[in-house]
Structure formats: C-alpha cells, structure tokens
A and B are shown apart, each in its own frame.
Chain A
C-alpha cells in the first residue's frame, strides 16, 4: 500500500479546539481594518455597517439551531455562556427556590459555576451517569424537587463524545416547570439541534469548536415562554442588558460564517468523519485489551476515547508524539488524578490513566488515520513489553487481587 505523505504532528484533538476555517478567516479580516466601527454607534455609517454584520451573524447562529435571532446573546465563549445561564437564572429565581441539578460528567465551566452557587447558599445535586456515560431519565426525574430552579445537562460530552437525551430531558423539565440549560459547545456542526422541537430554555455555544475563532460564543435565551436572567456583566446595557461590553465585530462575523458553513456542510462532513472514525476504531480495537469509553451508538462520530490496558497514558502520549491527542489522565498537570469523567463511568483508575481521546475533524485525512493506527500499534507493543502489569496479565495474575504498595 502506498503511504501518502502526512504533515507531523497529526492534529487529532479537534475536541480541544479547531483551526479557523480559511473561509471564516477571510470574512473576518475586513472587520478588523476596514469596517472597524462600533456596532453600538448609531450616528454614522461605520457603526451601521458593523451592526449589520453582527445581526447577519446572529441570523446564521440562529439558523443552525433553528431559533429566533433575537434569542441569541453574544458572549466570550461557552464558559461565559454557562456562567451567565446558570448564575443568571439562579440569581433571578432565588425567590422560587435554591436547588439546581447537573451531572458529574459536565465540563468544569458548569461544575465550577455550580460550586460557586453552593458557596452562595444554593444546593446542587450532581447526578451519576450510567456506565455508558448517559444520564438515566429516571434518575434525572427523581432528582427534581419543588424548589428546583434549573437543570444543566450537556449535549455532547467533551471527553467521551456521548450524546445525552436532550429532547427527553427537556420534556421532563418543561412538565415540572424547571428551567433547562444545555451546554452545546461540543455539539454544533456535529448533531442536529432544533430548538423548535427541543424544550430547552438556555443553550451555550462556542465558535472555536466549530472552525470559528476563539474568544466568542453565544447563549440562546428562549423568548416563548420567556426565560428571565440576571445579567452578570454590567455596563453599557448591550445585548438587552444581559451582557454589557462592546461587541467584537470581527469575532462575531467569524462565528456567524463558521456556523453557516456548519449548517451547509454538516451532513456530508459527518459522513466523511464517520468513515474515518470507523477506520480508526477498527484499527485500534484489533489491539488486545482495549476498551472504548462511552456509549458506542449514542455518540458523535468525531470522538473516540479508548483505554489501552496496562499502558500508562502519559508515556503513551510521549510515545506517540507524532500525534496531537489528549490523555484521560491529568498527569500532565500537577494533580496526578485520572479523568473525573472516566471515573464517573465506573472505569477503574488504571483504565482511566491509560485512555486517549482521539478527535477527528474537517481537515483529517485517511492517510493521517492510517499513520496513526500503525504508530499506535507499534508503540503499544513496545510499552507493553516494558510493562510489569502486562507481564503479570500474560502470566495469568489477577491484578485486582495483588496487594499493591500504594504511595
């Protein structure tokens, strides 16, 4: 087989961030130099041009998720959107109650916001997920109380790529009169989002996970029935008073164009990415003692998270430095803790430590996938030859029964 040339390192970390699509960058540039006006300037053409570009982008964002453009609030990214949605709703509705619900596998932007609310005196329930990473509808239903203000469940998990049953959860919340917030940072351009059909009250978006620039995001705030929030950033009263601050026209233009491209190309792109994912998955699961993390069906094709038993994650990442991937082990930070998401699935620490997240995107090629499979096979073999755990496993030792000298 002819090996096509690939550029190293191969980027397989599209869930961390994506490159700005060149077509998006091209649209943005004039708004830095030529059409630099402040969209809030009402008295001259510079302002009008910028405002028109901002509203056009707002329409594009709304079109991707099938909502009214008046329901889109610009923010600096999904982290800010999550903060505004959760704190904004909790603060506004504190007269109704002080209870919130989320799940243990949420992004830190949700979990840490909830922690902050706990410090303010709110009570938060962190739901366990099933072994496949999905939240159970019964568990969710049982957690709702009469004083529950809001529930927050992400659409697509950033580490394991599973898709939560948002439509069903939304119905439950609507029936109970509980606000429903969804972090959709990892979902745009990957799964169909129809806010006409889904009973979601608040939804967070990010541009840079969908081939737009970093530093820009949006929050969907439903109009009918109207969702009330308390703004978290005070100032000039931009974005209907919910988020003050001069709008970053060029970033907004970039997000609009990125979301327009996502709407137009999503179906064909997902098909291509699914083909590449299947190829990668086949290649990797032929290696002995590999475990896919997260549901195999209810997941986006872009993400595959695999644990390679008896190989430590950080040394694996070091061995495959030709690939830009993420490890489920946080050893690279100071904490030495395995991923809390994989732990929440009930994976033991060893498997959590040995996991790698591969995320595929718009510019991934088949040659890159083939290169990755070949490299990983070789390196897994090499590291297992060096692993005392692999040796014990091959000798038939039950590693769970060994008395380890923990340190």
Chain B
C-alpha cells in the first residue's frame, strides 16, 4: 500500500508519543478501538485551569495510518479548549493525511479518541472540581 508523505512523516517521527500519569491533576484518558479489530488508540490530554488542553500524549497499536492519525490529533488539540477540540472531524484528519478509503476508519478512531478523552475529563473533573481547582489557584 502506498502511504502519503504526511502519513510517512508522522509514522517515522510521531509527535507526542508517551503517557502522562493518569492520576495527575488535569489529566484525562481516552482509549478507543479493540485489539481484535487491529487498532487501539490511547489519547491523553492535560487540561489547565482555563479549560485549555496544554499538552497531549498518545500510544497507538495499529497500522501506519492509525499511528499518523493519532500523532496528528495530538498536535491539533494542543492549545485548544475542550469545546474547540470537540469540533475536530474525522474528515479533516483524513484530508490532511490523504488517507485512502480503506483507512478512513483510522481517522474516525482518532476523532473518537479525542471525544473519549474529553468525556473522561468531564466525568472526572466535572464543572465543580474544575471550579474548585480554579478557586484554589486564585
């Protein structure tokens, strides 16, 4: 299969590979996919008290397009608010990486990973704890 240059770039030099301590303040984790389907993405976000994603990490088990999709979204979500990050669509990911039709599911998985991480953040910290964290800081 011929991969696009952008997929190869991300695959050869993936951005933001690794893990945060999941118990660290402001960290949330999204894990999507299944080993049986051939891809699993773990996306972690570190959200500051202003509700902005200040850092992100990923680990991916999957094909080159899956690794590239997750690497790309870690770059895209940094500096975005949670609401802004929620608007990232798989079609944008697929377009940026020039994914062929059989690899569209990789971009869908990356979008799902963002949503799962944000959901985890919201359920973990919910408005209340975020506010109290903010209050503590001020």
Contact = CB atoms under 8 A, between A and B. Distances in A.
Interface of A: 310-315, 318, 329, 331-332, 334, 336, 338, 348-350, 353, 385-391, 399, 404-407
B17 A389 contact: no
Interface residues of B, number: 32
Interface of B: 1, 3, 11, 14, 17, 19, 31-42, 59-64, 66-67, 102, 105, 108-109, 112, 116
B33 to A, nearest CB: 6
Contacts of B116: 405
A289 to B, nearest CB: 13
Contacts of B63: 312, 314-315, 318, 331
Contact of A389 (B14, B61, B64, B67): B61
A318 B11 contact: yes
B33 A407 contact: yes
B13 to A, nearest CB: 12
A387 B61 contact: yes
A334 B37 contact: no
Contacts of B62: 312, 315
A329 B61 contact: no
A388 B108 CA distance: 18
Contact of A404 (B40, B64, B105, B109): B40
B67 A315 contact: yes
Nearest to B67: A315
B105 A386 contact: no
A406 B33 CA distance: 5
23 contacts: A310-B61, A312-B39, A312-B66, A313-B38, A315-B64, A315-B66, A318-B3, A318-B64, A329-B38, A336-B102, A349-B35, A350-B36, A387-B60, A388-B42, A389-B61, A391-B42, A405-B32, A405-B33, A406-B37, A407-B32, A407-B37, A407-B109, A407-B112
Say what secondary structure dominates the interface of chain B: mixed
Contacts of B39: 312
A404 B59 contact: no
Contacts of A334: 102
Contacts of B41: 388
A120 to B, nearest CB: 33
A404 B34 contact: yes
A44 B102 CA distance: 57
A42 B21 CA distance: 84
A9 to B, nearest CB: 15
Most B CB contacts (10 A, CB to CB) among A331, A338, A388, A404 go to A388
A315 B64 CA distance: 5
Across the A-B interface, the 3 shortest Cβ-Cβ residue pairs: A404-B34, A388-B42, A314-B63
A332 B34 CA distance: 18
A137 to B, nearest CB: 32
Contacts of A350: 35-36
A404 B39 CA distance: 11
A386 B40 contact: no
A211 B21 CA distance: 55
A332 B1 contact: yes
Nearest to B100: A334
B102 to A, nearest CB: 5
Residue from the set B14, B39, B61, B64 with the largest chain A CB neighbour count within 10 Å? B61
Contact of A348 (B19, B33, B36, B66): B36
Contact of A387 (B59, B108, B112): B59
B33 A404 contact: yes
A350 B109 CA distance: 18
A332 B3 CA distance: 11
